Structure 1
Amino acid sequence: MTVIEAREAGGPEVLVPAMRPAPKPAPDEVLIAVEAAGINRPDVLQRQGLYPPPKGASDLLGLEVAGPVIMVGEAVTRFKPGDFVCALVNGGGYAEFAVAPETTTLKAPDGLTAVQAAALPETIFTVWHNVFERGGLEEGDWLLVHGGASGIGTTAIQLATALGAKVIVTVGDDTKAKACEALGAVRAINYREEDFVDVVRKVTEKHGADVILDMVGGDYIERNLRAAALEGHIVQIAFLKGSKVEIDLMRLMMRRLTLTGSTLRAQGAKAKARMAEAIEKTVWPLIAAGDFKPVIDSTFPLSDAADAHKRIDDPGHVGKIVLEVTG
């Protein structure tokens, strides 16, 4: 099969096509003929040599795929060859074939293309776990999302809005602001022109954000403490501006805040299975009802993975970038 390998740690140019044997499913896995594979920020970190795959996982990039099942392991009961699925994988997505655990494989929602289905797993698992499980977002709450135009951001806007929360986002330009507000954000803040702390306090009438989803870090960490509501939850999922900062934790104590965070890939099979069950029960009906639809920025052929990574490195993208696989 054709795969995309990273020759070494570095920029997008290190990603090159290569040939490898197709994988075989373990007893609890399915083999998927990949029609599309989503690109995510952890892929970029792995390409740069900053996020090694967990023990036993493929060294190939790619954490989410969509396509038909072509073979199942002997212990698999939920799927059969021919089922069209999307799946969260620990690696190996940038290839013509990929194996996925049965527990993190889901039937693709009706009406979605392979590209749209491939844009779901990594992003939705991340948003579901961090916003709703760790952050505890509830109906009527205020959610602040940094990086509102990213794949994570556009997903969080739609899911939180569909489940009755109110969303504020930060973005880098007015075009992204309009895109986020069109998806349901109450207010999109251009961080180059406004202080998000001041705007959040004003929009929420001094209540603050009940949950903050932050992929920026750096000086945002201290500012999040000031933007959070009493008993609020701040959830870190990345640190684009750095993870080593000096902050005054007195505000956290006085306002009874919770500062937490997680990575998805390192979590165990049972935790991911629990997330998958909740997502299938709660999110899939929202997709069927038309209340959520993945936002696709652009698609690239598998062989052009380097160009796709140039696009995700471009701060101008809105939504998900997806590889289309043929073969």
Structure 2
Amino acid sequence: MRAVVTTGAGGPDVLSVGELADPRPAAGEVLIDVVATAVNRADTLQRQGFYPPPHGAPETLGLECSGRIAELGEGVEGWSVGDEVCALLAGGGYAARVAVPVGQVMQVPAGVSLVEAASLPEVAATVWSNVFMTAHLQKGERFLVHGGAGGIGTMAIQLAAARGAEVFATAGSPDKLELCRSLGASRAIDYREEDFVEVLQEAGGADVILDNMGAKYLGRNVSALATGGRLVVIGMQGGTKGELDISALLRKRASVAATALRSRPLAEKAAICCGVVENVWPLVASGSVRAVVETAMPLDDVARAHQLMEDGGRAGKIVLTL
């Protein structure tokens, strides 16, 4: 099969399209003919040698895909060959075929194209698991997401707004700030000109913060929390080691959680995907939540796609089509 291969750890130039052996579905797995996949920041980290796949996962990049079922592994029920699906992956999405545990396979939301569907599994599962399953964001609470114009940010804004939260989002350009507002953010914060801590403190503090920066924002995020607030850290773009003011957490009765999706056990991923299908897909089908795809390009342009991801300035997801 056609698949993205690498010549070693490095920049986007180590990526090219070559040939790999076709995968076969094991018991409890589904084989998907891939129509599209999407680029995530974790893919760029893996390409650089910083984020190896979990044990047993494909070495090929790609944490999500859409396509059609080509074959069912032993014991799989409820699906048929030819069904259009999207899937959350531990790896292998940058390829013509991928074998996926059946619990991570989801129907494509009604009214969504397969190209759009490729951009949904990773962001939907990340936001649902962290903002709602871990932080338990409730209707009427204040929610802050950093990087509001990115893939995770655009999904987080929409889901939080659709479920009745007051949404704050940070972004760094007029176009991105406008995108955040158009998706449901009641307050878009220009992090180049404004202090998000001051904005949130004036509003009464954030009940939930979803953060992809890590160390750089740790102390400021705690300062921005309301009493009983919950900070969930899902990324390390701003470093891995920071100072945590325990006294501030105690005074606020606040909490900090750090989570990763890719390395979770299969049962946990299946539960997350069930939650996405039950709670997120109806909002997508109704139009309350939509896929935000900045650009789609052929798989052969994978190096350019990674360069676009690393250059920044983008809004939404980058999709690769096969």
TM-score of the aligned structures, taking structure 2 as reference length: 0.98
Aligned to 2:275: 278
| Cα-to-partner distance string for 1:99-141 (whole Å, 9 max, x where unaligned) | 1111010111121111110111111111111111111101111
Matches within 5 A, 1:122-141: 122-141=122-141
Aligned to 2:183: 183
In structure 1, distance between residues paired with 2:243 and 2:138:
31
Deviation at 1:314, TM superposition (A): 2.0
- Partner AA of 1:231 in structure 2: G
Aligned to 1:198: 198
- Partner AA of 2:59 in structure 1: D
Contact kept in structure 2, 1:143 and 1:165, CA below 8 Å: yes
Aligned to 1:264: 261
Contact kept in structure 2, 1:3 and 1:17, CA below 8 Å: yes
In structure 1, distance between residues paired with 2:20 and 2:272:
32
Say if 2:297 is the partner of 1:297. no
| Cα-to-partner distance string for 1:280-318 (whole Å, 9 max, x where unaligned) | 111111111111111001111101100110111122000
Deviation at 1:267, TM superposition (A): 0.3
Contact kept in structure 2, 1:181 and 1:188, CA below 8 Å: yes
Deviation at 1:65, TM superposition (A): 0.5
Contact kept in structure 2, 1:78 and 1:102, CA below 8 Å: no
Contact kept in structure 2, 1:300 and 1:307, CA below 8 Å: no
SS of residue in 2 equivalent to 1:287: helix
| Cα-to-partner distance string for 1:207-247 (whole Å, 9 max, x where unaligned) | 20000000012331100111001000000000111011123
Say if 2:311 is the partner of 1:318. no
Aligned to 2:36: 36
Say if 2:209 is the partner of 1:212. yes
| Cα-to-partner distance string for 1:66-88 (whole Å, 9 max, x where unaligned) | 01101111211021101000001
Aligned to 2:237: 240
- Partner AA of 1:322 in structure 2: V
Contact kept in structure 2, 1:110 and 1:288, CA below 8 Å: yes
Deviation at 1:172, TM superposition (A): 1.2
Identity %: 46
Aligned to 1:22: 22
- Partner AA of 2:182 in structure 1: A
In structure 2, distance between residues paired with 1:104 and 1:154:
22
- Partner AA of 2:6 in structure 1: A
In structure 2, distance between residues paired with 1:223 and 1:10:
33
SS of residue in 2 equivalent to 1:152: helix
In structure 2, distance between residues paired with 1:53 and 1:275:
19
In structure 1, distance between residues paired with 2:216 and 2:123:
25
In structure 1, distance between residues paired with 2:193 and 2:6:
38
In structure 2, distance between residues paired with 1:245 and 1:23:
42
Aligned to 2:9: 9
Contact kept in structure 1, 2:37 and 2:119, CA below 8 Å: yes
Q: Which runs of 5+ in 2 are unaligned?
A: none
- Partner AA of 1:30 in structure 2: V
Deviation at 1:251, TM superposition (A): 0.4
Aligned to 2:117: 117
Deviation at 1:58, TM superposition (A): 0.3
Deviation at 1:95, TM superposition (A): 0.5
Aligned to 2:142: 142
Contact kept in structure 2, 1:32 and 1:99, CA below 8 Å: yes
Q: RMSD in angstroms over aligned alpha carbons? A: 0.9
Contact kept in structure 1, 2:60 and 2:93, CA below 8 Å: yes
Aligned to 2:164: 164
Q: Which runs of 5+ in 1 are unaligned?
A: none
In structure 1, distance between residues paired with 2:216 and 2:248:
15
Aligned to 1:93: 93
TM-score of the aligned structures, taking structure 1 as reference length: 0.97
Aligned to 2:45: 45
In structure 2, distance between residues paired with 1:18 and 1:271:
33
Matches within 5 A, 1:73-88: 73-88=73-88
In structure 1, distance between residues paired with 2:3 and 2:130:
31
- Partner AA of 1:285 in structure 2: P
In structure 1, distance between residues paired with 2:87 and 2:150:
20
| Cα-to-partner distance string for 1:168-199 (whole Å, 9 max, x where unaligned) | 01111121101110111011111110111111
Aligned to 2:68: 68
SS of residue in 1 equivalent to 2:3: strand
Contact kept in structure 2, 1:218 and 1:245, CA below 8 Å: yes
The count of aligned residue pairs is 322
Deviation at 1:248, TM superposition (A): 2.2
